[in-house]
Amino acid sequence: MSNQLLSMGSQSKPPVLMADEYQQWKKRMIQFLNHKNRDCMESIINGPVNPMIKVDGQAATDTSPEIPDKYVPKPYQYFTEKRKEQYKTDEEALIYLTMAIPNDIYNRVDSRNSAKEIWDELSRQFEGSEASI
């Protein structure tokens, strides 16, 4: 299959990023994501949902120091239905974005953990700084 056909994508497959065609890919990718699920671009713009819960600390005692309050990620099973839907959308955005990046480019962004982080890193690499969507 030609690179031109890959870079255009389809209704079921995202366009593949070619390093010398970043601006065209970006426009096509935004259109693809908006067609699949408009909330995917919202996830990329604002970042993933990351609900946290507070774990109460403990006061110092004769045998132990004070333990301060801390926040930890909330387990998925305790998400509200709305948060579960947002979480699924965040995952969907990440899946589509990683599908659209060839291995040689993916190796440069694979340490990123969310679609927003990957999108921002691609913008930095191909546009020189974090450019707006």
Given a cut of 70, whether residue 132 has pLDDT beyond it is no
- The angle subtended at Cα 109 by Cα 125 and Cα 131, nearest 5°, is 35
Residue 25 belongs to what H/E stretch? helix 22-36
- Summarised one tens digit per residue, pLDDT across range 80-96 is 999 999 999 999 999 99
Q: Does residue 63 lie in a domain region?
A: no
Q: Does residue 10 lie in a domain region?
A: yes
Q: Does residue 67 lie in a domain region?
A: no
Its sign, for the CA torsion 86, 105, 123, 7, is negative
Q: Does residue 88 lie in a domain region?
A: yes
Given a cut of 60, whether residue 9 has pLDDT beyond it is no
Q: Does residue 57 lie in a domain region?
A: no
Between 8 and 119, the more confident residue is 119
User: Is 80:51 a contact under the CB 8 Å cutoff?
Assistant: no
Q: Into how many domains does the chain fold?
A: 1
- What gap in Å lies between CA 17 and CA 99, rounded to an integer? 10
Q: Does residue 56 lie in a domain region?
A: no
Q: Does residue 32 lie in a domain region?
A: yes
Given a cut of 70, whether residue 111 has pLDDT beyond it is yes
Which band of pLDDT confidence, cut at 50, 70 and 90, is reported for residue 19?
confident
Which band of pLDDT confidence, cut at 50, 70 and 90, is reported for residue 4?
low
Given a cut of 60, whether residue 20 has pLDDT beyond it is yes
Q: Does residue 100 lie in a domain region?
A: yes
- 32 HSE (CA, 13 A, CB side): 24
- pTM for the full predicted model: 0.76
- Summarised one tens digit per residue, pLDDT across range 22-76 is 999 999 999 999 999 999 999 999 999 888 999 999 999 999 999 999 999 999 9
Q: Which domain holds residue 92?
A: 3-49+80-127
